Every structure is written in C-alpha cells, then in structure tokens.
Amino acid sequence: MSAGLLAAAVLAPGVASADPDVPDAASTGNELSGRTVFVDPGHQGTGHSENLGKQVDDGRGGTKDCQTTGMTTVDGVPEHTITWNISQLVASSLESLGATVVSSRPDDSGWGGCVDDRARAASASGADVAVSIHADSTTTGVDADKHGFHLIVPTLPIPDAAANAAQSEGGRAASTSMRDAYQRAGFTPANYAGVVDGIQERSDIAGPALTSVPLVFVEMGNGSNPDDASVLESPEGQLKHAIAISTGVIDYLLGPDTAVEPSTAEAVTAVADTAVADTAVADTAVADTAGTRAPNAVSNPSAVSRLIAGIAPYVDSAGIGALADLVTEDNVSAVSNVAQGLLRQLLAPE
Ligand SMILES: [Zn+2]
C-alpha cells in the first residue's frame, strides 16, 4: 500500500463497512468516559539542567536518584524518545474512547520530573490507572540472547498503606491485564532478569511504592537486542506497542466482555475484520492477515480492545514505507492523529 493510499484510507469517510448485516457500531467512542489514565513516558529530553543524582524518597525508607537518562538502543535511539512516541499513540487511543489522559511530561525536549514527582502527579490525578512506559537494556553493546517484554510489580507489602492497597489489588490486576495484552499482540515475555511469565517483582522501583493509584510499569523490550530494538524504533513497531498498551489498559478498566452475548462479540470482531479489509481494497494481504488472525488464546479481552487490536493487520500490511513516509520526529503529534483516525474509522463505521 502506498503512503497516499494509506492517507486516503485514513482521511476518507465511510471507509469502514456499511454492511447492513453488521450491527450498530459496537463502540460509541465513550466507553472510557469518566475514566482517567495517567500516562508516564519514561525519562526526559536532554534540554534541562536538573541534577539527576539528587536523592529523593524511594518509598521504602531510603532514597534513590531523582532520575536516569534511560537507555539507548543498539541503533542509537534514546529510550525517552521511544517512550514519548508510544505514549502519544496510547493517549490518542484512550482519548478516542472518551478517557481523560494526564501525562507526566509535556514534551520530549525538556524536563519531566523526578520519580517521586511523577508518582505524586499520578496520585494527584486520581487516575483509575497509571502506566509508566519504559524500554530496557542489558548491555551497552549488542545482546542477541536476551529479549522480550516484562511488567515490573513492586514487592509487597509497600510501607505506605495507600500505595500498598493500590498496588496489591488494582496494580497487580492491571499488570496482569497488560501482560495478557502484550502476549495477544504477539510479543514474547522476557527471557532474562528473573522474569516469570512476563512479570518481574522488584523492591527497588520507587514509582509504584509512592503511587496511590494502580500503576502498571511496562518494560516494552530490550534495546540491546537488535530484534527488539528494531520494533521499538520503527513507526509500526511503536504503534504495535501502543496497541498492546492501550488494550491492556482498556481490558483492565472495562473487564472481559463476559456480559456481552457471544453473537455480539463475534459481530464486533467481524466489524474490525471488515473495516480492515475494506480499508485496504487494493491490498489482498490485509484481508488474508485479518482472516487468519490468531484467536485470543491468552485471555478474554474486552470487545473494545479487540476492535483496537484489529488495527494490527492493517499496520502489518501498510509496512514500514507507508507509515514511515508519514511519520517523522517532527510530526509525531500527527502520528497520533493517524492512529486516532484509524481508531475512529474502526469504532464508528458509517
Ligand atoms: Zn526506563
């Protein structure tokens, strides 16, 4: 698919199915109305004069560094830019469903707060869930062996009662939901650092120990691993991560669609498949991909998250060229608009 066709597909009204057999739009775009999500893209831009080594409360009776610069991938892409790009896509996805999104930092150029500042901001936001977005590294060189995503959860109990309550209940549930969403999206749990089924328990991460709303801390991949790095760096890869993160959040907030009639759930999947296929009229690969999409074997996601996951085949078929033509460092906000446009096409078929 050419960039022009992709752009036309995004911009053209009525791209999604008008098939009378398809039920009324399964999503109103208001599913997350009244919900607040705190999105924390890890680290910060370089345009600041803050002292990263300033000691701040670690939530466990000690102190730790205010911040770190974050990792750099084997190809030289900084973590703060990867997490910023993906957080913008996640924000667009959630806002397209009516959520209020509060971000820990306003841009990718300057300061974004110490870890304790961000925890306080998350708590003060009253968010239903907070998501800290990071990517890992295992060496400054190339590490071909260690790869995969993981969710960091805090060792319990946490000294602060409010943080302990939030992370022991909602935080664990949200982390599990995120793990399942990542696996459904085709990502592999990390094979290093003592990660078990995509979950790593740690007592040295200040964020969750200082945050009184449920917090998910995702390490999306290993920037030292060439395969993980290429996904973290590419526009489609970033959109895939954003889809996984968005669906993890949505499934936590909405729960599985156990209350939905099976026929409705199937129809929702059909809407997504039809929209994807119709959008790429000239690209049979899309229809093939959509038609052979693997069943959701890991868990039972919400209907809305399945709609969003339905974008993935489109992303696969559009390819690096089509999206990369549209996406540059200078127009990342427009990338969000593209993602939001795709979501709106899927969620509100004419
Ligand atoms: Zn990080």
Which SS3 state, helix, strand or coil, does residue 153 take? strand
Based on the fold, state whether residues 308 and 170 are members of the same structural domain. no
Q: Give 36 Cα–ligand 1 centroid separation in angstroms.
A: 23
User: Which range of residues forms the domain containing residue 266?
Assistant: 2-14+21-29+259-347
Strands 63-65 and 215-222 turn out to be unpaired
CA pair distance 337, 342, nearest whole angstrom: 8
Predicted structure pTM score: 0.79
**Residue at which a domain ends, from 216, 237, 254:** 254
CA pair distance 185, 180, nearest whole angstrom: 9
Q: Reply yes or no on whether 266 is catalytic.
A: no
Catalytic residue among 50, 95, 169, 219: 219
Based on the fold, state whether residues 6 and 78 are members of the same structural domain. no
Based on the fold, state whether residues 104 and 140 are members of the same structural domain. yes
Based on the fold, state whether residues 125 and 240 are members of the same structural domain. yes
Crossing angle of helices 262-279 and 332-347, in 10° steps, is 130
Q: Give 160 Cα–ligand 1 centroid separation in angstroms.
A: 24
Half-sphere exposure of 159 (CA within 13 A, CB side): 9
**Residue at which a domain ends, from 198, 219, 254:** 254
Kind and range of the H or E element at 135? strand 129-136
Say how many domains are in the chain. Answer: 2
- The answer to whether 66 and 54 have CB atoms below 8 angstroms apart is yes
CA pair distance 221, 231, nearest whole angstrom: 9
Based on the fold, state whether residues 79 and 217 are members of the same structural domain. yes
Based on the fold, state whether residues 109 and 123 are members of the same structural domain. yes
Rounded to 5 degrees, φ, ψ at 230 are -65, -35
Based on the fold, state whether residues 63 and 181 are members of the same structural domain. yes
Based on the fold, state whether residues 51 and 197 are members of the same structural domain. yes
Please name the residues in contact with 252: beta carbons below 8 A apart, sequence gap of 6 or more: 129, 170, 173, 174, 177, 178, 214, 216
pLDDT score, position 293: 33
Crossing angle of helices 3-11 and 332-347, in 10° steps, is 60
Q: Give 234 Cα–ligand 1 centroid separation in angstroms.
A: 18
Based on the fold, state whether residues 149 and 169 are members of the same structural domain. yes
Based on the fold, state whether residues 52 and 141 are members of the same structural domain. yes
Q: Give 71 Cα–ligand 1 centroid separation in angstroms.
A: 7
Q: Which region holds residue 51: left if phi is over 0, alpha if psi is between -120 and 50, else beta?
A: beta
CA pair distance 267, 264, nearest whole angstrom: 5
**Residue at which a domain ends, from 198, 220, 254:** 254
Based on the fold, state whether residues 275 and 223 are members of the same structural domain. no
Per-residue pLDDT of the chain (350 residues; tens, 9 = 90+): 333 333 323 322 223 333 333 333 346 778 899 999 999 999 999 999 999 999 999 999 999 999 999 999 999 999 999 999 999 989 988 998 899 999 999 999 999 999 999 999 999 999 999 999 999 999 999 999 999 999 999 999 999 999 999 999 999 999 999 999 999 999 999 999 999 999 999 999 999 999 999 999 999 999 999 999 999 998 889 989 999 999 999 999 998 764 444 444 444 444 444 434 433 332 333 333 333 333 444 467 888 888 778 777 766 776 545 655 555 666 656 666 666 666 666 665 44
Q: What is the CATH number of the domain that holds 169?
A: 3.40.630.40
Based on the fold, state whether residues 245 and 273 are members of the same structural domain. no
